[in-house]
Amino acid sequence: TSRAPSSSRSIPPAATARDLVIGLVGEPASLLGAAPVGRAVRAAGMEPLVRRTATEDLEPRLAASVPTFADGDLALVEEPDAPAGRLVARFRLRDGARWHDGTPITADDVRFGFDHDRAAPAGADARVLAERIERVDVIDERTVRVSYLAGERWEMYALAPRAMPRHLLQGASPAARAQYESRPVHAGPYRIADRTAGTIVLEAFADHVLGAPSLPRIVVRAYPSKTALIGALLAGEVDVAPSPGLEADLAATLDRSFGDRVRYKQSQAIAMLRFGPRLADPAIRTAASLTIDRERIARSVFGGRARVPSSYLVAPLWAANETATAPRLDRAEARAILDRAGSRRGNFGIAELRGDRLVVTLIVPQGSTALVEAARGVAVDLALLGIAVDIGERPAAEVERRVLRGEFDLALVVDQADDPVLASERYRGMVSGWYDVLADAARRAAERTEKRALYAEMQRMWMDAVPALPLYQVLKVDVAPLRVDGVEAASHAAPLTWNVGEWRLAAR
């Protein structure tokens, strides 16, 4: 029987110490989407089978252990449709695991989670992970067998399956699903006690399978802008401002105002200039790479804190194989490349290539001062080639949708690069046939040494083909209180609250 999560429970009494307050920018209706507010709350309230730690290790959560070859819970099985072998993992749920409403979590919830995620919108993180799984079979009430795609050799295999509350969502009406997305019921260290406009109250989940968290209550407040969030920090109304609420372009202000509370971490993400179908000509992409002064853009936006990557993979990811040299600038050669491709200057000095007058739109997600400023730098430099760029800020969901569909001229987006397989798949069909062959080989390779060699060659080919242009490596900026221990940013895509269940008041 499906039912909507109850909203009748009252807010718990205020904690003896002042509640910990987390400040974020923006407030989506759904907490299950990609918006930062949703991700921060979701990390506190939803519990995976296995999570990725800040040190890139796999840690069991709802699962009793991480399946491995050594313990026999991970195997490479030969099947008629998988002659090269299929990775098969057995996951066992912890005893006593319960949803926030007290219902026991079973293997059927893991099987349902797989079906639920496969039905997610194309490109959604949950669907991308689910599509790496062939099937999920229930062995008994607390055990599932997960069979991955044929030939898959994925180091983060244990992150793909997850449990979702079948008793709440199976057969639920659209209204009940919308209510669930607004106030998800799951199994994390915190449950949503109340949600009103601009405020979400999280209370410690006493029956959390790994033990109740130390902090009894957390309040999440949404602010309309970064300026408003900084004002709340200065007024002492907010304790924690996690990335990407604030960005590294505000470093000087943050350092001056908050000192040791500000924490910086290079993330495995890249601000990437993506070329749409109109600008797919290799001559345009190569000329752009020789014209856009990425070092200047990074300096002007971040005051020297951000670095310019050379590849689509960046350290500290093990597969990254970047060169240390600065991007090459040669604007004379760039103009000569376009001339050889048949480009001619028309009215107002705007370039025309094969009848296409190069007046283009560069779309940027709304709300990112750094991306908008970087886009302006791109526009100034491309004007030297006769490419007239109009910058259009659009809602993040619209930018993501248009990039996936190829409905854009230029786009400046943040590409997550914490999984070499997913990052490589992003450019399939855009580099060369040999790149695609190596991408398949890297997925099948069993040893990291072999994978690293394949990814090194793919990155070299990617840099030669210029399917996109990396502008800067994203720097995570978090403001956290000195009175709380356990706060630790991860270089991968997880929000600062990924381990909020381990946060505790400092003894000092």
Ramachandran sector of residue 39 (left: φ over 0; alpha: ψ -120 to 50; beta: rest): alpha
Coil vs helix vs strand at 299 = helix
Strand order in the sheet with 82-92: 74-79, 82-92, 143-150, 133-140
The strand pair at 359-365 and 410-416 is best described as parallel
Is residue 456 within 8 A of residue 441, CB to CB? The reply is no
Mean pLDDT of 392-401: 89
Tell me the β-bridge partners of 25. 223
- Predicted TM-score (pTM) of this structure: 0.79
pLDDT value of residue 243 = 86
- For 412-459, the pLDDT digits (tens) are 999 989 889 889 989 999 999 999 999 989 988 878 899 999 999 999
Q: How far apart are CA 280 and CA 467, in angstroms?
A: 8
- Shortest CA distance to 229 belongs to which of 32, 63, 86, 21? 21
Direct distance between the N- and C-terminal alpha carbons of the chain, in angstroms, rounded to an integer: 50
pLDDT at residue 9 is higher than 50: no
Quote the DSSP letter at residue 312: S
pLDDT value of residue 32 = 87
Specify which of 129-133, 160-164, 449-453 reaches the highest per-range mean pLDDT: 160-164
User: Which helix (H) or strand (E) covers residue 344, if one does?
Assistant: strand 344-345
Mean pLDDT of 302-324: 85
Mean pLDDT of 103-108: 98
- For 48-100, the pLDDT digits (tens) are 999 999 888 999 999 999 999 999 999 988 888 887 788 999 999 999 999 99
Enumerate residues 6+ apart whose C-beta is below 8 A from 234. 257
pLDDT at residue 8 is higher than 70: no
Q: How far apart are CA 451 and CA 275, in angstroms?
A: 28
Q: How far apart are CA 234 and CA 226, in angstroms?
A: 12
Q: How far apart are CA 73 and CA 20, in angstroms?
A: 40
Q: How far apart are CA 388 and CA 320, in angstroms?
A: 34
Mean pLDDT of 101-108: 98
Residue with tokens 């030939």: 151
pLDDT band at 508 (very low <50, low <70, confident <90, very high): low
Alpha-helical runs (H) found in 185-304: 226-234, 251-258, 282-291, 294-302
Residue with more model confidence, 202 or 38? 202
Task: Determine which of 178-182, 316-320, 461-465 has the lowest per-residue pLDDT on average.
Answer: 316-320
Is residue 105 within 8 A of residue 96, CB to CB? The reply is no
3-state secondary structure 436-471: HHHHHHHHHCCCHHHHHHHHHHHHHHHHHHCCEEEE
Q: How far apart are CA 159 and CA 192, in angstroms?
A: 24
pLDDT value of residue 4 = 37
Counting beta carbons within 10 angstroms of the beta carbon of residue 55, is it exposed (0 to 12), middle (13 to 18) or buried (19 or more)?
exposed
Q: For the range 303-306, what are the long-range contacts, defined as Cβ-Cβ under 8 Å and sequence gap of 24 or more?
A: 303/251, 303/252, 305/248, 305/251, 305/264, 305/475, 306/248, 306/472, 306/473, 306/474, 306/475
pLDDT value of residue 167 = 97
Q: How many CB atoms lie within 10 A of CB 253?
A: 12
- HSE value, Cβ hemisphere, 13 Å, CA-based, for 377: 22
pLDDT band at 3 (very low <50, low <70, confident <90, very high): very low
Is the bond into 60 cis (omega within 30 degrees of 0)? no
Is residue 316 within 8 A of residue 306, CB to CB? The reply is no
Amino acid at 487: V
Ramachandran sector of residue 90 (left: φ over 0; alpha: ψ -120 to 50; beta: rest): beta
Q: How many CB atoms lie within 10 A of CB 42?
A: 18
Task: Determine which of 19-23, 36-40, 496-500 has the lowest per-residue pLDDT on average.
Answer: 36-40
